[in-house]
Amino acid sequence: MRKFIVSDLHGNGEVYDSIMAYLENISLTDEVELYINGDLIDRGFDSFRMLEDVIDRINGKGPIKIHYLGGNHELLMYQALVDRYPGRGFDHHSNWMNYGGWSIEGHLDEIKSNQDFEEKCEELKSFLGNLEIYKIFPEIINKNQLILVHAQVPENLTMDLRIRNDNKTIEDAVWTRRLKRRNLLLWPGEVIGYNRIGKEGYLAIMGHTPVTDEKGFVYYDEENCLNIDGGCALYAMGRFEFDHVPLVEVKDDYLKILVFNHNNEIINGFYFEKTTLCMSNEELDGERVFINHEFDNNALKNKRLIKEVFEVD
């Protein structure tokens, strides 16, 4: 069984289709598992199609076995579906829209006149609510247990944590960022540090915060965390320099990372041990794929228009 991990695709159908085609090619000779580490949805135009396709694959369509972990955008959509009526305290629907839920809401609007609309909303709510928050792998990397989580490793790893739990532990696991914080002391002065996102004894693979490194991933040595959020959310909003989407393959004592772009290509390859080493050109050439898609010209025009707006600003 070959295991792969991807995170934060945010409705970017071009990269999603390329990765699925690559994995389906592998599945001709090997069993394949793909772990989606949250934020499959929101902001990108293909969010709804990708969500529907993943649900179909989880239900048995196609040769790839899918494991889908919840991220903050899955939580946002779940909260909006649970509380779809305004005027009852915090407006989860508006909050979801602010974070890019409009990319899915438009597709839901198309079926509002259909008698199956309520049934579809309940189906999506149940699916999202049942998404797990973390996954511990049996593989050992650098003498550490491998764990997958969207943003922060939970303190208690014996709990069955799912999106539907909707508590502070869930919020922390899908929302916490590794940002500098200031702790004011009882005496004059302050300490500047980072939010804790990792856990001793574990190598954590996570996403959530877009990586500015041109490889699309970065390793935080002091936290023993590998961030693989290549910035699809920013790409969807017109930041086309974020064009490096890592696909991680889990091996027994190392990680193999292929980097895809939005032109349906594998552009880089790396091995991850204690340091990151580039693949040889010969080996990378053996991994490369190029898939021809019939693109929607209107979608391309929309992206160009968004880019022009960003450039003016």
Written as six digits, the tokens of 233 are: 């959310």
Which is it for strands 32-37 and 65-69: parallel, antiparallel or unpaired? parallel
In the chain, the percentage of residues whose pLDDT exceeds 90 is 66
Q: How confident is the model at residue 115 (pLDDT cuts 50, 70, 90)?
A: low
Taking the CA of residue 133 as centre, how many other CA atoms within 13 Å lie in the half-sphere pointing to its CB? 28
Cα 256 versus chain centre, distance: 18
Q: What is 2-312's CATH superfamily?
A: Metallo-dependent phosphatases (3.60.21.10)
End-to-end CA distance of the chain: 48
Written as six digits, the tokens of 309 are: 């707006």
Written as six digits, the tokens of 213 are: 């490194």
Max mean pLDDT among 4-13, 166-175, 181-190 falls in 4-13
Q: At residue 88, does pLDDT exceed 60?
A: no
Contact between 177 and 194 (Cβ < 8 Å):
no
Which is it for strands 276-278 and 134-141: parallel, antiparallel or unpaired? unpaired
* pTM (2 d.p.): 0.88
What are the pLDDT digits (tens) for 227-284? Answer: 999 999 999 999 999 999 999 999 988 999 999 999 889 999 999 986 678 999 999 9
Residue bearing tokens 């799912």:
162
| Ranges of each domain in the chain | 2-312
User: How far apart, in whole angstroms, are the C-alpha atoms of residue 95 and residue 76?
Assistant: 7
